[in-house]
Structure 1
């Protein structure tokens, strides 16, 4: 269970303050994966960071019952001066998982070769994404947060990533941001629409998609 209590977050966009969420009390239950929909600039990625705990609220609080991942599409948490392996060791200590197992898992999964032992600042964006995805798949979470990415790399790597990810979701949930309705349908059963600083939950994903599409028509 993830619960927001009187949560408010305001950001500045082009010099103007905008409430991403405005005094929101809301609960995301366990047991169904959720697609997060909203207009461009509505604050979907910001909301994922709030849920993950990497961004603080202005007011209110987030209650998490269960282990929540960082946003899988976000690679900014890596320390550029450390190698990929050193970053993985650091994450393992923070999350209390077996360091040796996670280091070996990511080495095999991410397929970075010698770059695994090179500073992350030398990585391409695709290599960082593969490292981030590998670390995420190597740790068991109750909730996986996904921001516009479910796999990276060549066709074979994408197929491998999708297979592993779907396996993780056999007993975990995902909260996913994607502009692709078909991608949301592949992974999610329910939906949340972020509109005007408020969140509305729909038990059926198709209902959420319909509401979102109608909102988009009222630009």
Structure 2
């Protein structure tokens, strides 16, 4: 969808579109800022989040100085077309204070797998030295797939010959490496959870 084709009610809001930024993996609200039509156009075309600074009177890309950028996953407007919700994959903390969110920290998510995926995505983006996860991304798809094959064999072995505790541990190892593969292929956790939701109906 092109920005110039959007029927936005910008006159009603003095030319500036309130934009809520949400983490696509955890659902946490990260920040609120404003876009004009040009910032919206650049956001759509570059897949990076741009805003209009009301104090500096210019466009700015989130992360242009800190490198903590926001990669666009999806966006949608409210019913009046005068507010935007944009879902992102953040690279590093969003708030200038160094916190994850400009609204402060929130209680830990009850979705442990979503939290795990977010950590993996962060390792992919930052590639910290000494990180096993980062080393998998650096090694590439063949290495990641080899680890999945290895962990699958460990699960079969645990199921046949070992304890339930060991089976759980090996299952988590497989899930972890599967998440690494999904992140490598650019597949977000939300896409996986949505597919799971489709399968709730009995077959």
In terms of fraction of residues, the more strand-rich structure is: 1
- TM-score (normalizing by structure 2): 0.28
- TM-score (normalizing by structure 1): 0.27
In terms of fraction of residues, the more helix-rich structure is: 2
